[in-house]
Amino acid sequence: ATILWTVGFRAMLSPPVTLLLLLALLAPHHHPRLPPPEAPEGRGRQLVVIVAGLQRLADACHAYQIVHKNGIPEEQIVVMMYDDLANNEKLHRRFTPENFLAVLKGDSSGTKGGSGKVLKSGPKDHVFVYFTDHGAPGILAFPNDEACESGSMMTDLPEDIDVYATTASNSHESSYACYYDEDRETYLGDWYSVNWMEDSDVEDLTKETLAKQYKIVKKHTNTSHVQQFGNKTLAHMKVMAFQGNSMAGAAPAPPMTLRPVAHPDLTPSPDVPLAILKRKMMATNSLQASRGILMEINTHLKIREVLADTMHQVVQKVTGDEMRTQVLLNARTELTQHACYKAAVHHYKTACFNWHKMEYEYAMRHLYALVNLCEGGYATDRILQAMDSACY
């Protein structure tokens, strides 16, 4: 199968790390009980996987509408969405790394809960995967878990395989939220995601190439450095080959005309919770409500301060030197020591701050310091002991 990845993330992330793991699992392999169905006349099919985490439902729904209106039938689209507003434990248990990987491998027996719908691709199929959630260096974060990677960096992704990927930012940046909705009191989109989807809305996808869309999206996404990886020769293929049902002869939806948005409300994704509180403060005329919101803001800022101070203590206890500590707290090192980092991240989440709790989500912004410690040659046990001392 020929694979196109489009990825937007909510927080500081190392896209290369996570994506390579997932792509490695997309080798030509099918579950023995799930042979891929043949398309008419031996032609391939367009298959789509859409995955959206916390506060990304609008982006996921928009992506679904694009591929569906361009002729891809529902049975060829797999959607995984986490509704953080729904109090549905079964629904939340389905949104896991294990289920996501089972979907990609075509292993319906490996899914837990849900319909068991998986990606059953064949060698002639085109697969479009859109993933939008949050993360950190070496981590693809799901709402209650994460998938860690132990292989090569995305920059080493071979160029001679049929995989082409684009990401919202480089490994040291966050994506930006956009389109604040006053009624819903939340941001509706991710700037990179909105840009590729709005481009798909207005362009003739039978003429526009992936390369052209990449250049347009990269230019419009002026808040981060949009990246591309893998087999770049695939970028000369038409967008319709992945976002439409062209193999079955479906015509693309007519291009739309979108009204320009003067103020897209661009906000760094890690700062979204604080930005929402500030907007609520500005919108209310109630003194009592203002006091309550102000208390939330102060609590949020205090937690940020505690998170930063705790990581400072961890690094200082490991190095035993304040000057070296400052260097490690300000560096951005590429991750290669995966075993050390995976152990450190797991221990930090369990012994210090679990970023899957909303109040501690900002803790992910400090995980780069653990990368620096591992890359600095410090023993894993020493790092874990420092956490035990700083966090208890």
Catalytic residue numbers read: 134, 148
Please choose, from the candidates 376, 385, 295, 369, the residue with its C-alpha nearest in 3D space to the C-alpha of residue 138.
Answer: 369
CB 165 within 8 A of CB 229: yes
**From CA 210, how far away is CA 237, in angstroms rounded?**
6
Token couple for 79: 């959607």
Distances (CA, A) of 104 to 22, 171, 381: 8, 24, 35
Question: Is 249 in a helix, a strand, or coil?
Answer: coil
> What does 46-77 look like in DSSP terms, one character per residue?
EEEEEEE-TT-HHHHHHHHHHHHHTT--GGGE
Q: Which amino acid is at 110?
A: G
Question: Is 388 in a helix, a strand, or coil?
Answer: helix
CB 36 within 8 A of CB 59: no
Token couple for 74: 């529902």
Distances (CA, A) of 270 to 176, 219, 357: 8, 22, 14
Q: Which residues contact 343 (CB under 8 A, 6 or more apart)?
A: 380, 384
**From CA 292, how far away is CA 125, in angstroms rounded?**
54
CB 125 within 8 A of CB 1: yes
Please choose, from the candidates 327, 336, 337, the residue with its C-alpha nearest in 3D space to the C-alpha of residue 383.
Answer: 337
DSSP 96: S
Token couple for 64: 């679904």
